[in-house]
Amino acid sequence: MINQKQGTLVCVGTGMRMAGQLTPIAQSYIESFDVVIATVPNIFTRKWLQGMAKEYICLNDHYDDTKVEGKSRRDTYRRMTDTILKEVRSGRKVCAAFYGHPGIFACISHMSITEARAEGYDAHMEPGISALDCLVADLGIDPGNDGMQSMETTQFMIYKRIVDPSSLLILWQVGVAGDLTLKRFDTEAVHLELLVKKLNKYYPLDHQIFLYEAATDPLEKTRIDRINLGDLSQAKLKQITTLVIPPSIDMEKDQEIFDQLHATIIERKLEPQAF
Ligand SMILES: C[S@@+](CC[C@H](N)C(=O)[O-])C[C@H]1O[C@@H](n2cnc3c(N)ncnc32)[C@H](O)[C@@H]1O
């Protein structure tokens, strides 16, 4: 079926650090599309995007919805999506820009693309450099070594998730841990105490964890604070803090599967390596 509709949507990521982490393809969409619609917290990144775009619509003020009684961040995300779709429906080429990767912990891009496609518009996402990519580089952690679990902190708290303490655990949005109102932009000691209590089922209180905040412009310094799990409730957290929990135990071998694989190697007179 040929798409008859004029409007186009592409969602791009700006990376975490200003300028240097923008991919060439994302930059070309930002420069050439009719309008750039963005929610980017760093003021320098915002100004820099504004300078490149033909027209710029800033979505940051949509967060004020959370100050209205009965409204939460869900209303903010809905209104942001509606603002993007309105421009697409008017037949324009729309570039929606998000910091980091546009599809990681960024429901607006996913909603906008799904809804635009359902209405018959061309819509796609270009990958960007996320906080996780920076974390891997800055902390020198290879998620391939022990495997990795990654989840939103409040989701981890309120659902029965299966945690594997022999793998790396990344908890996002620890700075709003335990906020059930979806209105707050901070957390409090009592929420963090509950988080520590839950994590303590899997990790000892003296387990060393990291508070990670990637620098987002050349004036900032990357934060990598190593603390004991038991001290988390007293730590200073920001909206951008990511909690990194290295494994506390070694992986346990599944001897049954291992022996079966081993037998297939021996059968073929091949030489197994040590694992
Ligand atoms: C709504 S998500 C946005 C993630 C973003 N789209 C990305 O690709 O990384 C916000 C969460 O990302 C993480 N985050 C955002 N900025 C960060 C930074 N500068 N350093 C470390 N983690 C960050 C934090 O866990 C924060 O609570």
Residues with CB under 6 A from ligand 1: 16, 98-101, 104-106, 130-131, 172-173, 175, 212-214, 216, 239-240, 242
Catalytic residue among 29, 77, 121, 212: 77
- pLDDT over threshold 60, residue 189: yes
**Cα–Cα distance list, 165 to 149, 162, 169, 207, 241 (Å):** 10, 10, 8, 11, 21
Within 8 A by CB and 6+ apart from 9, the residues are 84, 88, 94, 96, 112, 113, 116, 121, 122, 123, 124
pLDDT digits (tens, 9 = 90+) for 28-72: 999 999 999 999 888 888 999 999 999 999 998 887 878 888 888
Query: How far apart, in whole angstroms, are the C-alpha atoms of residue 250 and residue 241?
Result: 27
pLDDT category at 21 given cuts 50, 70, 90 is very high
Average pLDDT, the chain: 94
pLDDT digits (tens, 9 = 90+) for 224-271: 999 999 999 999 999 999 999 999 999 999 999 999 999 999 999 888
Query: How far apart, in whole angstroms, are the C-alpha atoms of residue 39 and residue 57?
Result: 9
Where are the extended beta strands (E) located within 178-217?
Answer: 208-213
Residues pairing with 211 in the sheet: 225, 243
Query: How far apart, in whole angstroms, are the C-alpha atoms of residue 189 and residue 120?
Result: 48
pLDDT at position 107 is: 95
Catalytic residue among 29, 46, 99, 212: 99
| Token representation of residue 20 | 């240097």
pLDDT at position 4 is: 63
- Strands of the sheet containing 148-152, edge to edge, are 148-152, 168-172, 242-245, 208-213, 223-228
> Ligand 1: distance of its center to the CA of 226 in Å?
18
Which among 125, 156, 130 is positioned nearest to 143, based on CA atoms? 130
181 or 138: whose pLDDT is higher? 138
- pLDDT over threshold 70, residue 185: yes
* Among 173, 237, 244, residue to substitute to test ligand 1 (most atoms within 8 Å of Cβ): 173
Which among 120, 87, 96, 72 is positioned nearest to 12, based on CA atoms? 96
